[in-house]
């Protein structure tokens, strides 16, 4: 994708503070959206399981019209019809991904656990000079504009949501002409993720792992104990205790996201090529001893940010095969050690070179990309990267469940 061909479409997320009437209207909309989604999912699932029949969006849209005319579901007419139509479109996309084997079968939305959100298109909101008014509302939302939208740009869709901590957010999706391809450079960097340090670069720089969840672990434990002591149900005290736990989790997630945004933006701006390991984070968190620390580090979120920002700014993200033994190879002579426990942070190769475990791994990751680029024929395409390259080392894979983590 060449960012210079067309403006990048991105979402600008802001917090807002609704009035009591606006909050009631939005909560009612969230409930109707969830109800319509579950009804349509039940119909489509029954048609697929029993008759191998595919029900499309237009069929469910006609069903929605019929549902509104029934006495049992007449309350669906009290909210804007646009979010209800949008949730049917989202369900259609989910089934399209399922039929093409790109995703699992869609699941029903739970009242307690599912995300509360509603999407409005241009016909259901009015945006004028920083004032956003949704359908069925008289007054605009009280949005905290932490940054300005690009000049002359109006949102194409608006998504309103409420998180588990009770905070309200509005996401404005629009084209951003300010995002342009950066001038090409010759710099390249190898990146090794870890737990002792969040990132170690082949240039020798180590980026601190803030361990944000560990910092708030005592506060979180006290809040969770207080929640466990509350009687089950929807009592006021239990709701307060649940909100307190959610606020601590939200604080941790916000700080982690901010930290990763700053790191990934700097790396993308400074380097043309960024080489990382293709780690199976979902499998790694099955290790109970490391799961909490890996989740706190946010490796998957880091890679996601790095990849979409590289597409925005015309950079290349290349992944090295996950079975590549980056820590055990000597970056000077190429000799591989048979074993290296996680407690070994520095080691000396038979060639006499002393290595820092993490810096050596980052340099080997960088060397893997250079080797793949030189051979050419052994390079396979990597999805969702501008370069379309995958640096793969011919190493014997480790036995299942024994993949090495480089903390």
Any idea which residues carry the catalytic annotation? 192, 277, 358
| The pairing of beta strand 116-121 with beta strand 157-162 | antiparallel
Helices within 155-216 (DSSP H only)? 212-215
- Which of 149, 33, 130 shows the shortest CA–CA distance to 83? 33
Hunting for tokens 């792992």 — which residue is that? 209
CA distance 241 to 248: 11
Q: Is 304 helix (H, G, I), strand (E, B) or coil?
A: helix
d(CA 394, CA 389): 16
Residue closest to 194 by CA, chosen among 297, 274, 284: 297
Residues found in the chain: 407
Q: Decide: residue 232, CB within 10 A, 0-12 exposed, 13-18 middle, 19+ buried.
A: exposed
**Half-sphere exposure in the Cβ direction for 383 (13 Å, CA):** 1
Q: Please, which residues have CB within 8 angstroms of residue 170's CB and are 6 or more apart in sequence? A: 13, 14, 15, 16, 132, 141, 143, 158, 159, 160, 161
Annotate 327-370 with DSSP letters as a single string: TTB-TTT--B-S---TT--EEE-TTS-EEEHHHHHHHHHHHHHH
Q: Output the six-digit token pair for 35.
A: 């109800």
């Amino acid at each position: 994708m060449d960012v210079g061909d067309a403006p990048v479409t991105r979402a600008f997320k802001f917090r807002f503070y609704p009035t009591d009437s606006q909050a009631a209207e939005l909560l009612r909309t969230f409930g109707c959206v969830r109800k319509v989604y579950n009804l349509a999912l039940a119909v489509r699932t029954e048609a697929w399981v029993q008759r191998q029949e595919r029900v499309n969006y237009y069929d469910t849209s006609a069903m929605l019209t019929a549902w509104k005319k029934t006495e049992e579901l007449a309350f669906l007419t009290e909210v804007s019809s646009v979010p209800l139509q949008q949730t049917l479109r989202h369900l259609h996309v989910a089934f399209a991904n399922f039929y093409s084997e790109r995703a699992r079968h869609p699941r029903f939305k739970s009242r307690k656990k599912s995300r509360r959100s509603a999407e409005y298109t241009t016909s259901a909101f009015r945006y004028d000079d920083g004032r956003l008014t949704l359908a069925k509302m008289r007054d605009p939302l009280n949005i905290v504009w932490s940054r300005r939208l690009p000049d002359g740009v109006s949102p194409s869709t608006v998504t309103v949501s409420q998180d588990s901590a009770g905070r309200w957010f509005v996401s404005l999706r629009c084209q951003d002409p300010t995002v342009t391809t950066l001038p090409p450079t010759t710099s390249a960097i190898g990146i090794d993720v870890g737990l002792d340090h969040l990132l170690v670069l082949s240039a020798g720089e180590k980026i601190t792992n803030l361990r944000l969840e560990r910092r708030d672990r005592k506060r979180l434990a006290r809040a969770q104990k207080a929640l466990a002591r509350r009687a089950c149900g929807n009592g006021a005290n239990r709701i307060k205790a649940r909100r307190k736990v959610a606020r601590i989790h939200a604080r941790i997630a916000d700080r982690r996201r901010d930290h990763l945004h700053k790191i990934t933006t700097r790396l993308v701006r400074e380097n043309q090529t960024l080489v990382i390991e293709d780690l199976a984070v979902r499998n790694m968190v099955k290790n109970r001893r490391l799961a909490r620390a890996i989740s706190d580090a946010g490796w998957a979120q880091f890679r996601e940010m790095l990849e979409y920002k590289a597409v925005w700014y015309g950079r290349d993200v290349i992944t090295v095969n996950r079975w590549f033994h980056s820590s055990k190879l000597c970056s000077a002579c190429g000799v591989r050690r048979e074993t290296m426990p996680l407690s070994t942070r520095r080691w000396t190769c038979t060639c006499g070179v002393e290595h820092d475990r993490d810096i050596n791994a980052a340099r080997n990751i960088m060397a893997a990309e250079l080797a793949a680029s030189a051979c050419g024929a052994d390079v396979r395409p990597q999805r969702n990267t501008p370069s379309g390259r995958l640096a793969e080392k011919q190493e014997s894979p480790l036995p299942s469940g024994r993949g090495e983590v480089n903390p």
